Structure 1
Amino acid sequence: MHKLIRTLGFALLALSLASCRLIYTPDVHQGNLLDKKTVDQLQPGMTKRQVLVLMGSPSVNSPFNQNQWDYVSTEQHRGGDIKVHTLTLTFNNDALVRTEGDFFAEDAQKLVDDTKKYHASYPVDETKGDKSTDGGAPEKKDDGGK
């Protein structure tokens, strides 16, 4: 009986912490992260190979429609609603003819700026560890010339 009461107590505690949003829920970004500079470089008439080098592999490349590439990304902020962003490229005879859709144009830079705030604000030399700089040799004590 004592174990049952303790288990129920822990369950209630966990439930109350979850309902208070004290449990951390990270932002989730998945798929192709495109920036405005890259998308602005797309020109009608570019070959599929040129687009592949510039943009990377598409998220969706249907085997039934070789003339359409879809770049899809999803964004979820702190467990909220999922936002889906798409960019569709249409080709005709291996040449780009149309681009349409939305993408992370302004959000990509915001995402980069958000990640910078988690880096250390003080100077850090990552090449040095916790070891001493003299190669780990033990310190010599001065015994007064004995």
Structure 2
Amino acid sequence: MQRTIATIFAILTAMTVTACSSITPNFYKLDMRQGNVLEPEKVAQLQPGMSKRQVQNILGSPLLTDPFHQDRWDYIYAFYPRGNREKGEERHLILHFQGETLARIDGMDTIPPPSTPAPAPTGTSTAEQAQQPSFFQFSPPDTVSDASLSEETGVQNPTQ
């Protein structure tokens, strides 16, 4: 009898403990972004003949600089949603320089085309928007003359 109770208790304990676990772990994985973010709008600004400094101002410093090929800059970007490499996105842009000027761009096929700009909102024209005061614009306070200030406060301006 005690052996049967012990067996039932062991089975119930095992079932209780295994009910709290699952076969596949369901922990949260972060989105992985690595490298230089290659935005299509910025990549579209690149043109042969630009200087290294102009390219660096647009895209930032290259991720890889090869000491054996100083005239080649590699920009690599990888995005894996929730760490999933199968559903991820990779972009690799290679810039070739001759001296200090951009000569050739490889890897443009990995960059999606720039998105079209959204149409302007209807209702108010840009001229009307320019005339409307902005919250961030500074408007100086009304100037107060020294005479009216001294009348209100009873204090004379010492610079006079």
2:43 to 39, 45, 55: 39
Tell me the SS of whatever aligns to 1:16.
coil
Q: Which has the higher contact order (CA 8 A, sep 6+)?
A: 1
Contact 2:44 2:114 (8 Å CA) reproduced = no
CA distance in 1, matches of 2:64, 2:71: 12
Q: Which residue of 2 aligns with 1:23?
A: 27
Length, aligned pairs only: 99
Q: Deviations over 1:92-141 (max 9, x none)?
A: 1211011111236569xxxxxxxxxxxxxxxxxxxxxxxxxxxxxxxxxx
2:111 to 103, 106, 130: 103
RMSD, matched Cα: 2.8
Structure 2: stretches of 5+ with no match in the other structure: 1-9, 116-160
Alpha-carbon distance, 1:49 to partner: 1.2
- Cα 1:23–1:98, aligned 2, differ >3 Å: closer, same or farther? same
Q: Deviations over 1:17-56 (max 9, x none)?
A: 51xxx32222211111121221111111111111111210
Which of the pair has more CA radius of gyration? Answer: 2
Matched, 1:52 2:56: yes
1:66 to 70, 80, 92: 70
Residue type of the alignment partner of 1:92: Q
Q: Which residue of 2 aligns with 1:110?
A: none
- Cα 1:68–1:53, aligned 2, differ >3 Å: closer, same or farther? same
TM-score (structure 1 length as normaliser): 0.56
Contact 1:85 1:104 (8 Å CA) reproduced = no
Structure 1: stretches of 5+ with no match in the other structure: 108-146
Q: Which residue of 2 aligns with 1:84?
A: 90
